[in-house]
């Protein structure tokens, strides 16, 4: 595979074209651009970062699973993947490229029930909870946004006026940031630098999650259900 050279303007034009005409006919007509400037470039970037940081690369399929969806458009309008199976206790590293640019993030994207219980208990505990507040503040101070599915009210068993109720409502927690493309796309150094800087800024959150939540102890096949994708490396 060619070395990563960045994402040229044709990559972002490809995503814009797919958003405008999400059909098999359009995709087939522009498949060469996808294979080289989009997926090929993305895989090269992820491989290089995995060589540097450790882990295996998984890039997800571009095709959507439309069997149970009202939206029958056949293709995802972003290309994304993870660097997983990293040295413990490091979490997976996520990245995606789309018309809006390059997004990088990390954290606990989904929490199994045993993880969620530990997560909430650690947030509620005054000896550990403030550490996550500080970690989130440090990441946000570095330009990272925090995300994650959250309840609209307090989870069962926790008071609505808890001082860390905003964090307690979370059912997952990740940090990430997006780099918008310039007229000439996103160059190699800018893309690699953005991913590295984002993941580094999220490290305080990841350290707290590893120390207080850790991996699920449930059987792997029962944690989150099945997902599409393929492993590389």
Over residues 17-64, the pLDDT tens digits come to 999 999 999 999 999 999 999 999 999 999 999 999 999 999 999 999
Residue-wise pLDDT for 140-151, tens only, equals: 999 999 999 999
Residue 130 lies in a domain: yes
How many domains are contained in the chain?
A: 1
Residue 189 lies in a domain: yes
Domain extent for 117: 6-232
Residue 187 lies in a domain: yes
pLDDT value at 70 more than 90: no
Write the CATH number for 42: 3.30.1460.10
Residue 226 lies in a domain: yes
What single string gives the DSSP state of each residue in 142-189? TT-EEE--B-SSPPTTS-TT-TTHHHHTBS-EEEEEEE--BTTBEEHH
Residue 148 lies in a domain: yes
Q: Which of 85, 86, 104 is nearest to 94 (CA)?
A: 104
Residue 1 lies in a domain: no
pTM for this structure? 0.90
pLDDT of residue 233: 45
Percent of the chain scoring above 70 in pLDDT = 95
pLDDT value at 191 more than 50: yes
Number of neighbouring beta carbons within 10 Å of residue 36 = 14
pLDDT level of residue 232 (50, 70, 90 thresholds): very low
Establish whether the linkage from the previous residue to 139 is cis, with ω within 30° of 0.
Answer: no
């Amino acid at each position: 595979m060619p070395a990563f050279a960045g994402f040229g303007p044709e990559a972002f034009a490809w995503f814009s074209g797919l958003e405008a005409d999400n059909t098999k006919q359009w995709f087939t007509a522009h498949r060469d651009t996808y294979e080289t400037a989009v997926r090929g470039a993305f895989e090269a970037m992820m491989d290089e970062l995995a060589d540097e940081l450790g882990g295996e690369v998984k890039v997800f399929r571009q095709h959507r699973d439309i069997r149970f969806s009202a939206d029958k458009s056949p293709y995802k309008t972003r290309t994304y993947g993870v660097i997983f199976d990293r040295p413990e206790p490091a979490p997976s590293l996520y990245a995606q490229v789309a018309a809006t640019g390059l997004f990088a993030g990390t954290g606990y994207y989904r929490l199994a029930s045993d993880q969620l219980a530990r997560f909430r208990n650690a947030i509620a505990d005054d000896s550990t909870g403030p550490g996550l507040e500080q970690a989130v503040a440090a990441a946000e101070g570095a330009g990272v946004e925090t995300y994650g599915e959250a309840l609209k009210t307090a989870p069962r068993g926790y008071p609505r006026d808890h001082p860390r109720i905003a964090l307690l409502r979370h059912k997952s927690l990740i940090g990430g940031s997006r780099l918008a493309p310039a007229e000439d796309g996103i160059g190699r150094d800018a893309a690699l630098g953005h991913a590295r800087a984002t993941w580094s800024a999220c490290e305080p959150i990841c350290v707290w999650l590893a120390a207080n939540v850790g991996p699920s102890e449930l059987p792997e096949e029962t944690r989150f259900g099945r997902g599409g994708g393929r492993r590389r490396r």
